[in-house]
Amino acid sequence: MIEKIHALWPEITLFAAACVVMVVGLSRNVQVRRLCVPVCFIALVAAGVLAWFTTPMSAAAMAHLPQYGKTLAAFVGALLLLLLVGTPDREYEDDVARGRAAFEPIRGTRGEFYAFYLFSITGLMLCAGADDLIWLFLALELTSLPTYIMVAISTGRNRSMEAGVKYFFLGALGAATFLFGFALIYGATGSTKYTAIAEALQAQYQAGPLNAIAVAGVVLAVLGIGFKIAAVPMHFYTADVYQGASAPVSAMLAFVPKAAGFFALLGLLSCVGWFRATEPNTSLPEPIHEVLWFMAVLTMTVGNVLAVMQNSVKRILAYSSIAHSGYMLVGLIAGPGLQKDSFTHNGLAAVLFYLLVYGVSNIGAFAVLACLERRGRDGQMEEADDIADLRGLCSRRPLLGWIMVISSLGLLGLPPLLGFWGKMPLFTAGVSSGDYLLVVILGLNSAIAAFYYLRLVGVTLLEAPDAPGRGVPVQPGPFPTRVLAGVASVAGIIMLSFIPLTNQAQRAGIYNRDPIIKRSAEPAQPAVPKPEV
């Protein structure tokens, strides 16, 4: 047990920082209260460095996943933190600063907000390092539970609470579903350890088809985790929650639970395995493959078609986040491929790289929304949300406008930008797995996505400014760190294409099937690609 502590330095750092932040946020002195953000930022950077240098190789089938996943979580987490600055207690702190209210620690939510954020990132890191179903369950819950509260307290408005409650209830439903799935997987294999599960399932392959309980367990677990990644049929909450929450919190929801869900799916599906010693093909076993296939197709299509019909920018981004999950599911279906050291054949590496691409590109779009506000129906200023709020932003506020344009194009995947390099390996992995129909659907969906992303670009870049009071920069007090987050995101979209990060994703995506094959009775057969469907 004690040796596991060595694998947990980044998580321990974040946990300690969360405890500090929780106390510091309660201080009556405003200068001390403001220390929350620097403490969080230092902790995230330190956790990222520790994750890169101290994380040992995991015993599970994807040995390098923990190192990549934890570093990714800390890196994107630090960017998201820049965006989250100023979200909690905005109106209350304003009142305190103007002397309209006295500060009472019990009313402040700043400490909880940042501490919960760190807890959520801790959960995400634990998901990446999980090698046991109990661990995975706790990590997924640690990722999600704080986000429910963060949504509910992100603004003082009724719609944030509505969003928080919706998110919580559907989240509990999802958690119950994957917990039942985990229970059935344990029942079918007798263990909760990834390595033991993989061994037991491999032994079942040798004897014949998979146990029905194991199949039901994996399917339920995939459906339940589908809530975290906002995949159809568990996607209903997404648009409402993203719209109701404050824009920085929505940006966080688009990355943190999604990444946790994909780490969990990678862990689970690598136990099931894309290779079987008795069969020459490389795909998941039949019912699980079919469930994931339909999930991917429906998630892409529903997300993109509904995004086309929206007028709220947050809802467009919410539905597009559903669609992006669908794209990534294609990588999971394609599996690790037959060439071990090839990035373009490895769907798992493509998924891991796409998480980085999506995490970085998404922050820019939400940062622009977080920097703008408009006069709402009740006369109060509220966050910019309608697509009309962006009209002519490039001429009014060139910096914000161009952040919006480039991050939209990046999310769309226009060739020189990062989004293209993220999507291309998904296509090539799909092609090399032989599932051409899925690749065609992926291509069509990318075309539909161009419609609404180009609409965002067109409104921002080409149209004339709208009536005054729409989409003006946030008063009182600008949040320079939010603009900084947007600039960093755009810099990432342009620059990261030139840095060979794909090597890291490729290394993290290596799926080690040798230990399983060696144990099987027959020698490993030379595998051939799956014939065309």
List residues binding other proteins (CB under 8 A): 133-134, 137-138, 141, 145, 148-149, 152, 158-159, 161-166, 168-169, 172-173, 175-177, 179-180, 182-184, 186-187, 190-192, 239-240, 243-244, 309-310, 312, 315
Q: Residue 489 burial (CB < 10 Å; 0-12/13-18/19+)? A: buried
> In the complex, what is the shortest distance from the CB of residue 157 to other proteins, in angstroms, rounded to a whole number?
9
Tokens 């009142």 locate to: 95
Query: 195 or 312: whose CB is closer to other proteins?
Result: 312
What three-state secondary structure class fits 312? strand
> In the complex, what is the shortest distance from the CB of residue 384 to other proteins, in angstroms, rounded to a whole number?
16
Query: 41 or 168: whose CB is closer to other proteins?
Result: 168
CA nearest 139: which of 272, 257, 13, 14?
257
> For the chain, how big is the Rg over CA atoms in Å?
23
Distance separating alpha carbons of residues 84 and 515, to the nearest angstrom: 44
Residue 197, token pair as written in the block: 């599960």
Query: 224 or 337: whose CB is closer to other proteins?
Result: 224
Residue 301 contacts residue 447 (beta carbons within 8 Å)? no
Distance separating alpha carbons of residues 445 and 442, to the nearest angstrom: 5
Query: 154 or 506: whose CB is closer to other proteins?
Result: 154
> In the complex, what is the shortest distance from the CB of residue 12 to other proteins, in angstroms, rounded to a whole number?
19
Query: 165 or 484: whose CB is closer to other proteins?
Result: 165
What three-state secondary structure class fits 472? strand
> In the complex, what is the shortest distance from the CB of residue 240 to other proteins, in angstroms, rounded to a whole number?
5
10 cis-preceded (ω within 30 degrees of 0): no
What three-state secondary structure class fits 430? helix
Q: Please compute, for residue 360, the number of CA atoms within 13 A of its CA located in the half-sphere on the CB side.
A: 27
Distance separating alpha carbons of residues 96 and 404, to the nearest angstrom: 33
Query: 184 or 348: whose CB is closer to other proteins?
Result: 184
> In the complex, what is the shortest distance from the CB of residue 58 to other proteins, in angstroms, rounded to a whole number?
19
Query: 199 or 342: whose CB is closer to other proteins?
Result: 199
Query: 156 or 500: whose CB is closer to other proteins?
Result: 156
> In the complex, what is the shortest distance from the CB of residue 164 to other proteins, in angstroms, rounded to a whole number?
6
Query: 220 or 442: whose CB is closer to other proteins?
Result: 220
Distance separating alpha carbons of residues 433 and 379, to the nearest angstrom: 56
Query: What is the amino acid identity at position 287?
Result: P
Query: 40 or 239: whose CB is closer to other proteins?
Result: 239
Distance separating alpha carbons of residues 7 and 453, to the nearest angstrom: 41
Distance separating alpha carbons of residues 305 and 316, to the nearest angstrom: 10
> In the complex, what is the shortest distance from the CB of residue 159 to other proteins, in angstroms, rounded to a whole number?
5
Query: What is the amino acid identity at position 329?
Result: L
> In the complex, what is the shortest distance from the CB of residue 137 to other proteins, in angstroms, rounded to a whole number?
7
Tokens 């794909």 locate to: 502
User: Concatenated DSSP letters for 253-287?
Assistant: HHHHHHHHHHHHHHHHHHHH-SEETTEEEES--HH
Q: What is the DSSP letter of 386?
A: B
Distance separating alpha carbons of residues 83 and 75, to the nearest angstrom: 13
Query: 308 or 487: whose CB is closer to other proteins?
Result: 308
Distance separating alpha carbons of residues 244 and 237, to the nearest angstrom: 11
* Backbone CA torsion sign across 368, 369, 370, 372: positive
* Backbone CA torsion sign across 329, 60, 259, 215: positive
> In the complex, what is the shortest distance from the CB of residue 368 to other proteins, in angstroms, rounded to a whole number?
21
> In the complex, what is the shortest distance from the CB of residue 188 to other proteins, in angstroms, rounded to a whole number?
9
Residue 136 contacts residue 179 (beta carbons within 8 Å)? no
Beta bridge partners of 473: 372
Beta bridge partners of 132: 193
Distance separating alpha carbons of residues 49 and 269, to the nearest angstrom: 29
Query: 306 or 350: whose CB is closer to other proteins?
Result: 306
> In the complex, what is the shortest distance from the CB of residue 190 to other proteins, in angstroms, rounded to a whole number?
4
> In the complex, what is the shortest distance from the CB of residue 148 to other proteins, in angstroms, rounded to a whole number?
6
Query: 137 or 343: whose CB is closer to other proteins?
Result: 137
> In the complex, what is the shortest distance from the CB of residue 180 to other proteins, in angstroms, rounded to a whole number?
4
